[in-house]
Each structure stands twice: as structure tokens, then as C-alpha cells.
């Protein structure tokens, strides 16, 4: 019997902006965090190291399923301009193995892919199944909104610069 079930949520958005604009958005996440998701994001701070570098640590606060959650995380992999992988402290570490943000250059457009690797323990899947489904739906909506907001922010910025 498997004691843990793994799921992957994949979200992708095409942004009509060069890939360096998407990377710069992430590099400046302290400034962009609340605009990225105004309803849920509260604050984000780098706490050790430089923005988006492997080994850098961060602190964030946001609402998850209507509850304010405070957490720390670590950038475990960074390929400048292309990819960021991060892990989280408790309580997010209970449900999330890692998150990858991948930036792919497609000429004048950029594809931003957000992949969440989730885990659920058997006990939580059986006893709290309804709550887990609600959480999954909320996370799916949250990440989808982040993609749309990033797209709108960067495309509006590109129009203003033109």
C-alpha cells in the first residue's frame, strides 16, 4: 500500500514579451509579489542570499484556502533566465515537494510554465478528502490567476515602453 500519493499541477501562459522581462519580473518579486496576485499575496522578502540564486532563502505570506499562511523557502536550483526550483518549510512542505518555474523563449513571446509537485499522505487523502479537493481547486485557481496577472502586467509594460 502506498502511503503517499503524488500529483503535479502544470500551468502555462504565453506572454507577449521577451524572456528577459519574465525573468526580471521574478528577480524583482519583492516589489511585484502583491501585484502578481493582489487578493492572496501579502508579502515576500529574500532573507539570505541574492534574488533567484541557488541557495537563496525567502519568507512569504499569503492566503491559502482563506487562511493566512506564513512560510520560508529555499531556491534549490536556478538557471538564470530559464528556471527556478524552490522548496518550502512547514506547513507547505507537508503538501508540496517543490515548485518549478520555467521560462521558454519563443521569439517575441515567452512561455512561462509553473509546475507544482504535490504530495498527499494516505491518512489525509481518506479522512480529509473533501478538504483536499477544495485545496487543490483553490491552488489551481491561484496559480492560473498568477499566470494571467503576470501576462497582463508584462504586456501592459511592453505597450507603455513602445
With respect to CATH, is domain 4-161 assigned 3.30.530.20? Answer: yes
Predicted TM-score (pTM) of this structure:
0.88
Residue 121 is predicted with a pLDDT of: 60
Choose among 90, 94, 110, 91: nearest CA to 102: 110
Please give the Cα distance from 41 to 128 (Å, whole number).
Answer: 26
Partners of 75 in the beta sheet? 86
Q: What is the pLDDT along the chain (162 residues), one digit of tens a residue?
A: 455 677 889 999 999 999 999 999 999 999 999 999 999 999 999 999 999 999 999 999 999 888 898 999 999 999 999 999 999 998 788 788 899 999 999 988 999 999 999 886 644 555 455 666 777 788 889 999 999 999 999 999 989 987
Amino acid at each position: 500500500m502506498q502511503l503517499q500519493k503524488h500529483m503535479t499541477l502544470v500551468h502555462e501562459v504565453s506572454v507577449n514579451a521577451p524572456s528577459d522581462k519574465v525573468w526580471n519580473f521574478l528577480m524583482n518579486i519583492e516589489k511585484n509579489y502583491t501585484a502578481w496576485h493582489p487578493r492572496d499575496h501579502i508579502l515576500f522578502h529574500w532573507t539570505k542570499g541574492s534574488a533567484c540564486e541557488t541557495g537563496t532563502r525567502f519568507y512569504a505570506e499569503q492566503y491559502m484556502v482563506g487562511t493566512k499562511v506564513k512560510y520560508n523557502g529555499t531556491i534549490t536550483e536556478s538557471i538564470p533566465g530559464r528556471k527556478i526550483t524552490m522548496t518550502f518549510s512547514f506547513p507547505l512542505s507537508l503538501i508540496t515537494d517543490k515548485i518549478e518555474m520555467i521560462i521558454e523563449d519563443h521569439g517575441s513571446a515567452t512561455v512561462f510554465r509553473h509546475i507544482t509537485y504535490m504530495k498527499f499522505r494516505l491518512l489525509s487523502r481518506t479522512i480529509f478528502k473533501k478538504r483536499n479537493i477544495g485545496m487543490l481547486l483553490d491552488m489551481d485557481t491561484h496559480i492560473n490567476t498568477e499566470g494571467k496577472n503576470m501576462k497582463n502586467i508584462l504586456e501592459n509594460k511592453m505597450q507603455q515602453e513602445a
